[in-house]
Structure 1
């Protein structure tokens, strides 16, 4: 992205992919920072957290490559400038792992907020590779 304007531009980007999971699932690495929320809105504070198979609708700061494994598949998720992610388990048999450049409401809490100066560019991407898939 490039700021073509004449003023600074605040920016947070995110995506919302869902992945099929069967049975218990695991995410590796599974140690990160969970965004502390008030009424589901991050406050700007984080806490150490271990992500285990369970129910989530939470934002995490978890930079680097990730591996999602279940009896259905193993996936590798790579990201650039998208060190936050939202985990959401609201759909049975699926897990949303949503790469984001910042936390929800980053405009107010500052978690991951990027401000582009006029003419400044930044690149965001994520890639999912299927390492194993069962029938």
Structure 2
């Protein structure tokens, strides 16, 4: 029987092991030794909760699926029916083509065709490379059409240290965040000063509920650490990623409740197709690249 996630590409070296699947060019697993760094899902099952997704050509949500560009209005399918939004882009369930794969690298490609709600043509690539520092992921988009195309991207790993988030220490030097309304849409960016969302210098997450975008990053490194075991997960943000979205998995039930942290590098916040905040506009033939690295 065919795996719902497509082909499983294994990368490994002396320290790390990763699995990348062809449906969505998604990161299925990442381990250091015998310990999980990201929460994956079993072979033979459909990807739950958008784990390890690449979000192209927009990350997170577009309210009501409606947006305008150059004087033209567009309507995307509502892929989050409960809230009535378009969610996490258009490529997560698509089968990507394998360009290259060896013991430590996997490169995948997808030609995004123009379609209802997004009438633009993009050539997309996802390059994963395993090194002694962890897994580096580079996301690229080239405008293969004849008109300017709005664009954003992000990645959606759930990191884990095998215990509830409440006791873990989050360090993120972000000076700005967006409060979220009841439909999980961002309000105007504001300083983290004096709020429970200030993790500069590092502090336990405690009972803070997170589903928020952050920016003005004073450091390109975000860490989640367990003081009891000494374990940590470390994300390095490279060129192109100026935002991080944090999600504390509160809506997940049972053992998944507050057991993982969505640590999502993004080029722009939710709703950027409407607000224009850090929206990339690709001219014909232009390429945008962004990378991050995930390790210990």
TM-score, normalized by length of structure 2?
Answer: 0.41
Quick check: 1:67 aligned with 2:223?
Answer: yes
| More deviation, 19-28/46-55 | 19-28
Per-residue CA deviation, residues 27-78 of structure 1 (Å, 9 max, x unaligned), is 22344211133332123x2111113512211111153222221245212211
Report the counterpart of residue 33 of structure 1 in structure 2.
176
4+ residue runs of structure 1 moved beyond 6 angstroms?
none
For 1:111 and 1:24, the matched residues in 2 are separated by 34
Q: Which structure exhibits the higher relative contact order, with contacts defined as CA atoms closer than 8 Å and separated by 6 or more residues?
A: 1
Report the alpha carbon displacement of residue 24 of structure 1 after superposing the two structures with TM.
Answer: 1.6
For 2:160 and 2:246, the matched residues in 1 are separated by 13
Report the counterpart of residue 133 of structure 1 in structure 2.
none
For 2:272 and 2:282, the matched residues in 1 are separated by 14
Larger Rg: 2
Quick check: 1:77 aligned with 2:220?
Answer: no
Which ranges in structure 2 are unaligned for 5 or more consecutive residues? 1-140, 193-197, 250-256
For 1:92 and 1:41, the matched residues in 2 are separated by 21
Judge conservation of contact 1:8–1:115 (CA < 8 Å) in 2.
Answer: yes
Quick check: 1:4 aligned with 2:144?
Answer: yes
Whose strand proportion is higher, 1 or 2? 1
For 1:55 and 1:37, the matched residues in 2 are separated by 11
Judge conservation of contact 2:159–2:233 (CA < 8 Å) in 1.
Answer: no
Quick check: 1:19 aligned with 2:159?
Answer: yes
* Equivalent residues, number: 129
Quick check: 1:56 aligned with 2:221?
Answer: no
Which ranges in structure 1 are unaligned for 5 or more consecutive residues? 131-135
**Over aligned residue pairs, what C-alpha RMSD do you find?**
1.9
For 2:248 and 2:266, the matched residues in 1 are separated by 17
